[in-house]
Amino acid sequence: MAGTAVSGRRVIWRVGTVVAFHDETATARTITLEIPDWPGHVSGQHVDVRLTAPDGYSAARSYSIASAPNSEGRVEITVERLLDGEVSPYLTQELAVTDRLELRGPIGGWFVWTPRQTEPVQLIAGGSGIVPLMSMIRSRAAVGSTAPFRLLYSVREPGAVFYRDELQLGADHSHCVGITYAYTRVAPKNWPRTPGRIDPALIASATWPSNLAPTCYVCGPTSFVETAAGLLAAAGHSPDKIKTERFGPTGDRK
Amino acid sequence: MAIVSRGFSGRRSAADVKLPPGQYLTTDFPVLSAGPTPRVPLDQWEFAIDDGSNVLRRWDWKAFRALPSETVTVDLHCVTRWSKLGTTWEGVSLDTLLAGIKTDAEYVLVRSYGDYTTNLPLDDLMNHKAWIAFRFDDEDLAPEHGGPARLLVPHLYLWKSAKWVRGMRLMQEDQPGFWESLGYHDYGDPWREQRYQGDE
């Protein structure tokens, strides 16, 4: 079981300054924060972000960290705007560069990847579930790890892909991350697979076989994670090698 | 001091006053677990209580379901910040399961199919504060919500209400469970907002 970056240390609220934005899709925005006293994080961890109204009312939600661990005190989160959300519309539409934002973290010691791990890794993302997995891909690239990575990334349609250019670039390099996209509603022209949910055939063709004993990280909406984790278990992966992170329909998570 | 978020007013309702600090209200039932959902056939299910050296009680599904059960309506508070109010469960009270066991243990480590564990003070399971629940909203408990049976300890954050329970150990000394070893609070009282390690 992985160790934890928060072990034995109180997780305090810190103040970050917004230094940049990048729109990933029509509804998702990456926010880059500079946090001078950031204690560092491990890929896969998340932060709690807190907004406070002038009268003291506050609301907080958890967001996965998208950036690789770094020594510059920079943290990126990617936030998907939820129509009925309380926090995500503010973060994706109101927040401006130079605004200050309160956050607490890093949090979580289970759904994490560190460069010490050399075994094959299977990443499976549903929608915005790509965020913590992107941190793992970035961390692997940053340290020059040659741990064999594959990514199966399920999205509604081509326009819903986060980090498109960077993923493409990474896939073209040596020691590349093997990427398979799966589309649930609309696929690009001449795409070999009919749009639909992930299934056993896709798992068989796009993921590491269980005899390689990869560590599997599955992140996405609850129903997606239930399906993907079930398919991995059915394909012979040991349940203790399948790590999951789920977010419910109402959660602003990620 | 909190920093005021320019232009943020938030969404609030009268119901919010009943929520622990930092929680928001949801009406559906999100799922949070660390791995795949175990499928436990009822003919292989068991729940056992031990003290580290001896098994003190053991029930198979039939014997467990023959125990007197209670229907309770309780509020749920998840550390991921959602709260769900007025949920109705049917389960066997821990008072019933622990009846007649003489012990000077002060802590319990609950274990699940799928190897999840969580720790609690024994007192928190006594006096009608905790149940092994097998029905939710008048239906058999779905596997993704912990079926066939899960612990229900509604006065603590929901990760303490271990899904897919298979047994528990009575202990003299506290011993951290799964999330408690990974940065989450040892006790987890939502009203004191004990989310993470080191929270007061």
The DSSP result for B10-36, as a single string, is: ----GGGGGSPTT-EE-SS-----SSP
Of the candidates A11, A54, A250, which has its C-beta nearest B196's C-beta?
A11
Which range (A105-114, B6-15, B41-50, B100-109) has the least confidence? B6-15
Q: B5 and A15: CB-CB below 8 Å?
A: no
Helix intervals (H) in chain B: 61-65, 94-98
pLDDT exceeds 90 at position B26 = no
% of chain A exceeding 90 in pLDDT: 85
Collapsed DSSP state (helix, strand, coil) of residue A197: coil
Average of pLDDT values for A181-207? 95
Which pLDDT tens digit goes with each residue over A36-49? 999 999 999 999 99
pLDDT at B16: 55
Q: B8 and A102: CB-CB below 8 Å?
A: no
Nearest 10 degrees: Cα torsion B6, B11, B12, B13: 160
Q: A166 near A66, Cβ under 8 Å?
A: no
Best B1, B3, B5, B27 member to test A by mutation, with max A CBs in 10 Å, is B5
Say whether residue A93 is in contact with chain B using an 8 A CB cutoff. Answer: no
pLDDT at A54: 93
Outline which parts of chain A fall under CATH 2.40.30.10.
Answer: 13-107
Q: Which residue of chain B is at minimal alpha-carbon distance from A227?
A: B36
Average of pLDDT values for A236-246? 95
The shortest C-alpha distance from A189 to chain B (Å) reads 34
Which comes out higher in pLDDT, residue B36 or A248?
B36
Tell whether domain A13-107 is in CATH 3.40.50.720. Answer: no
CB neighbour list of residue B1: distance below 8 Å, 6 or more residues apart: none
pLDDT exceeds 80 at position B193 = yes
Average of pLDDT values for A189-214? 95
Separation CA A183–CA A186 (nearest Å) = 6
pLDDT exceeds 70 at position A254 = no
pLDDT at A8: 56
Separation CA A245–CA A65 (nearest Å) = 13
Tell whether domain A121-247 is in CATH 3.40.50.300. Answer: no
Residues of A in contact with B5 (CB under 8 A): 51-53, 90, 99, 101
The shortest C-alpha distance from B13 to chain A (Å) reads 11
Q: B28 and A7: CB-CB below 8 Å?
A: no
Domain ranges of chain B: 21-26+44-192
- Look up the pTM and report it: 0.90
- Mean residue pLDDT of chain A comes to 91
Outline which parts of chain A fall under CATH 3.40.50.80.
Answer: 121-247
Range B21-26+44-192: architecture per CATH? Alpha-Beta Complex (3.90)
Residues of A in contact with B10 (CB under 8 A): 51, 53, 57-59, 86
Separation CA B94–CA B167 (nearest Å) = 12
pLDDT at B17: 61
Separation CA A241–CA B63 (nearest Å) = 34
